[in-house]
């Protein structure tokens, strides 16, 4: 059995909704509502879901870029939800993040050298060392050292994402949270970045939590995949199992909705009715029961627990519990 590097237990993040003249709390948005999973060393865990399902909030809460409301996040056995700000900063050397938008996540007034060496500076590296490290990093991600003196606007989207990756790699992290790293890129560039990320994982023995909405991309890169719906994990298993034998009705519908660029693939499409309900007022019981084609009476009242239906196949659905 591999060693777990990250354990997330009953993680919750509620955002207050304030309103009225005095800004009184009038409700809360349950962005992440009791999510638990484990990530093993060297694996890529994919998290998929539609917009607003809480996948990005989960990623940011793991790094405590957003403070969790409840629950624990254990990194190498240590509960980081309870750490002080200073201890957390030291730990961030081992935990990094790559953001979705390569246009917004790089400071337009800084050169590439400054962007990449900033994390090195924070963790106390000398000037000379920093310079050579930046050079090294640029080569690792497929750029050249003369790029170091340029500004972000001089690069294309794919190149910018490479800079973002170089910055994340700067301090030799163990875990990288990738928050939709290829969604803003064109197909031909997307495959370059995916291949780069896979190569880096092998080269530096990294662990990724790969958050994306594109099921084909997640399938390609991940070892295990978790599916989120309205702040909850509904299914988590090996990628082959998930794609060959999905258990949760939502996973089935989601997979059947993906358009496949092959006219010979025959599919039975499960069309879901309506939209995702608002997370500020989620349905009672199972959050999916309002759109579920096989909903039963119990689904309306009792929230299904996230349990192991088969070996390493977790699902939150009354059909299997």
Partner 1 sequence: MPNEVLKIEDLHTHFFTDQGEIPAVDGVSLTVHKGEVVGVVGESGCGKSVTSLSIMQLIPSPPGKIVGGSIHFKGEDLLSVSKKRIKEIRGNEISMIFQEPMTSLDPLFTIGNQLREAIRIHQKVTKKQANERSIEMLKLVGIPRAEAVMNEYPHQLSGGMRQRVMIAIAMSCDPEILIADEPTTALDVTIQAQILDLMKKLNQEKETAILMITHDLGVVAEICDRVIVMYAGQVVEEGTTREILKDPKHPYTKGLIRSIPKLHEKDQQLYSIPGTVPKPKMGNVGCRFNDRCEYAHDRCFAETPELFSIINNRYSRCFLLDDSEGKVVTDAEANIRS
Query: For binding to partner 1 (CB under 8 A), which residues are involved?
Result: 50-51, 156, 158-159, 186-192, 194-195, 213, 215-217, 219-221, 243, 253-265, 269, 271-272, 274-276
Smallest CA-to-CA distance from 140 within 170, 178, 181, 97 is with 170
Closest CA to 33 of 61, 5, 6: 61
How far is Cα 90 from Cα 95, in angstroms, rounded to an integer? 10
Minimum Å gap between C-beta 216 and partner 1 is 4
Of residues 91 and 257, the one with the C-beta less far from partner 1: 257
Task: Give 124 or 263: the residue with its C-beta nearer to partner 1.
Answer: 263
Which parts of the chain fold into alpha helices (H)? 55-62, 85-91, 112-122, 127-140, 157-169, 187-204, 215-221, 239-244, 249-257, 297-301
Query: Backbone dihedral region of 288: left (phi > 0), alpha (psi from -120 to 50 degrees) or beta?
Result: alpha
Between 91 and 272, name the residue whose CB sits nearer to partner 1. 272
Alpha carbon distance 182, 143 (integer Å): 18
Between 83 and 257, CB nearer to partner 1: 257
Answer yes or no: are the C-beta atoms of 207 and 57 closer than 8 Å.
no
In the complex, least distance from residue 179 CB atom to partner 1, rounded to whole angstroms: 17
Cross-strand partners of 308: 314
The smaller minimum CB distance to partner 1, of residues 171 and 280, is found at: 280
Least Å from the CB of residue 246 to partner 1: 12
Least CB distance to partner 1 at residue 203 (A) = 15
Shortest spacing between CB 29 and partner 1, in angstroms? 16
């Amino acid at each position: 059995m591999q060693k777990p590097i990250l354990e997330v237990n009953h993680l919750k993040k509620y955002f207050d909704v304030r309103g009225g003249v005095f800004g009184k709390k009038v409700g809360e948005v349950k962005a992440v509502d009791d999510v638990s999973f484990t990530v093993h060393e060297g694996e890529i865990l994919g998290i998929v879901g539609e917009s607003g399902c809480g996948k990005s909030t989960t990623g940011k809460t793991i790094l405590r870029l957003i403070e969790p409301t409840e629950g624990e996040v254990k990194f190498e056995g240590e509960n980081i939800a309870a750490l002080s700000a200073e201890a957390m900063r030291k730990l961030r050397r081992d935990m990094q993040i790559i953001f979705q938008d390569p246009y917004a996540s790089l400071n337009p007034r800084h050169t590439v050298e400054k962007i990449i060496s900033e994390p090195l500076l924070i963790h106390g590296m000398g000037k000379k060392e920093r310079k050579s490290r930046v050079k090294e990093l640029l080569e690792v991600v497929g750029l050249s050292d003369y790029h170091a003196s340029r500004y972000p606007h001089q690069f294309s989207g794919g190149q910018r994402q490479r800079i973002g990756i170089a910055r994340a790699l700067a301090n030799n992290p163990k875990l990288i949270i990738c928050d939709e790293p290829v969604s803003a890129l064109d197909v031909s560039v997307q495959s370059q970045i995916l291949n780069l990320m896979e190569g880096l994982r092998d080269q530096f023995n990294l662990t990724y939590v790969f958050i994306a909405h594109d099921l084909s991309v997640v399938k390609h890169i991940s070892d295990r995949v978790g599916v989120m719906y309205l702040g909850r994990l509904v299914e988590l298993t090996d990628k082959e199992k998930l794609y060959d034998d999905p258990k949760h009705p939502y996973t089935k519908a989601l997979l059947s909705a993906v358009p496949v660029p092959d006219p010979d693939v025959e599919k039975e499409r499960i069309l879901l009715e309506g939209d995702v309900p608002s997370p500020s007022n989620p349905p009672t019981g199972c959050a999916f029961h309002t759109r579920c084609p096989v909903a039963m009476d119990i689904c309306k009242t009792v929230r299904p627990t996230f349990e192991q239906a088969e070996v390493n196949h977790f699902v939150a659905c009354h059909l299997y519990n």
